[in-house]
Structure 1
Amino acid sequence: MPKVLLIEDEPALGMIVKDSLSYRGFTVFYAENGVAGLAQFDEHCPDIVVADVMMPDMDGFTMAGHIRKRDPNVPIMFLTARSQTADVVKGFELGGNDYLKKPFSLDELIVRIEALLRPRNAFASTLAVFKIGNYTFDPAKQKLSFDGHETSLSHREAELLRRLYQLRNQVLEKNVVLLELWGDDTFFNGRSLDVFITRLRRYLKDDPQVQIVNIRGVGYKLII
């Protein structure tokens, strides 16, 4: 039974979401601010974190930064009424995996949670270990290794790199990967994909033989 840590400073909304998730079979731990949420994270080791951004004591972005230091892989979904592009990009840069704007439907929230949890369980035993230039990529463990140094990837980073590798030296179409990993190809999701590509480039920068290039208006290509 998946464990969800829900942090929401509006008690009425928090209880509605908590009850809905519990009814769908999730074990839900609830906190009303970032400080309490961080304590709940340490106590319960949840499978996913669903957090409001604007909260008292510690905002969701700050809390996510602390969580990422504890666990680089746990999925984090932000819930927020803030819709500025800079806020969305910041959420992903801080290690967020998804960003759902208020008001939202409970059905959409549950579908997104299930999508974020799925890569942890599906196909883990069947994914091969890949060589990407001088890097070793283990998509099942979500690890990228180079010269004895190991980098832990988020679920979406690992899935994106796996797709790039499978189409290495060919174009990975942007709208295709957005539909597969984000669920739709909206402008905001397109910006978040750009952030993820930037992260992967940073992870792969130590081998000059490996590049991720933009194919303008089409997508991306992993060149090895």
Structure 2
Amino acid sequence: MTGPGAGPGETGPVDRPIRVLVVDDEIAITDLVSMALRYEGFDVSAVHSGQAALTRAALAQPDLLVLDVMLPDLDGFTVCDRMRRSGQGVPTLFLTARDATEDKVRGLTLGGDDYVTKPFVISELIARVRAILRRAGVADGAPAPLRFADLDLDPETREVRRAGQHVELTATEYRLLHYLLANTRTVLTRAQLLDHVWGHDFGGDARVLETYISYLRRKIDHVSPPLIHTVRGVGYVLRLPR
């Protein structure tokens, strides 16, 4: 990996946004993963084929690769192997629907650092990305606390406070609030929220979102002003009342 003060193939701290290359032939997935990574402060680019991944990686020198296995030309294993043989030791997270043990072993043997199967929960993928970067010696720093009005969320400790009072949340409630709080004043569609909190290709009852929004409102909006608002026919937004 290349960074300020590091030569080709070396790892070390970076003093710029960490570059992530997302490779998947499903545009919906590259859009979802790219958007989530950008919200976390990463510099993200995306391509949709194995050959395009090799070309972009040679030019952009990414710090991490999120790589689908099933690609229309070169499969992800071939991409990873060619990059390793060319001296591009880029940490790689395989993202794929193939969950057979032999596939996982092959991917990790070729130099992959982790293996996430579809459907996935985006917050778990982000956590795995950060873990890979830490192991690779690329420090992206602790995630910054989020604050809006009198609502505070600390991603390191997972503590949430409203008006100075601790708020106890379940894991799902936390993921939902974190996404809303990371996108304050932005109307998030139901599809975006379901993708981010419950995972791509969520196959459950979509009414689960309304249920968890009601749970959050009881815990967050029991004091004034209310912060979680419904945008009829679209989704939800975290903002001050108008």
- After TM superposition, the score normalised by the length of structure 2 is 0.49
Does residue 88 of structure 1 match 2:104?
A: yes
Q: Which residue of 1 aligns with 2:137?
A: 121
- Percent of aligned pairs with the same amino acid: 43
Structure 1 segments unaligned to the other structure (5+ residues): 124-224
Q: Which residue of 2 aligns with 1:62?
A: 78
Q: Distance in 2 between matches of 1:94 and 1:43?
A: 22
Q: Distance in 2 between matches of 1:109 and 1:62?
A: 22
What does 1:1-224 correspond to in 2, within 5 Å?
Answer: 1-71=17-87, 73-121=89-137
Deviation of residue 72 (structure 1)? 5.4
Residue deviations 1:115-165 (CA, integer Å, cap 9, x gap): 111134379xxxxxxxxxxxxxxxxxxxxxxxxxxxxxxxxxxxxxxxxxx
Secondary structure in 2 aligned to 1:78? Answer: strand
Q: Which residue of 2 aligns with 1:171?
A: none
Q: Distance in 1 between matches of 2:104 and 2:77?
A: 11
Deviation of residue 52 (structure 1)? 0.3
Over 3 Å counting, the alpha-carbon distance change for 1:88 and 1:121 in structure 2 is closer
Q: Distance in 2 between matches of 1:69 and 1:98?
A: 19
Deviation of residue 95 (structure 1)? 1.0
Aligned partner of 2:115: which letter? Y
Compute the RMSD of aligned alpha carbons.
1.5
- After TM superposition, the score normalised by the length of structure 1 is 0.53
Report if aligned partners of 2:22, 2:46 keep a CA contact under 8 Å in 1.
yes
Q: Distance in 2 between matches of 1:63 and 1:120?
A: 19
Secondary structure in 2 aligned to 1:49? Answer: strand
Residue deviations 1:66-103 (CA, integer Å, cap 9, x gap): 11123353211101111111111111111111100111
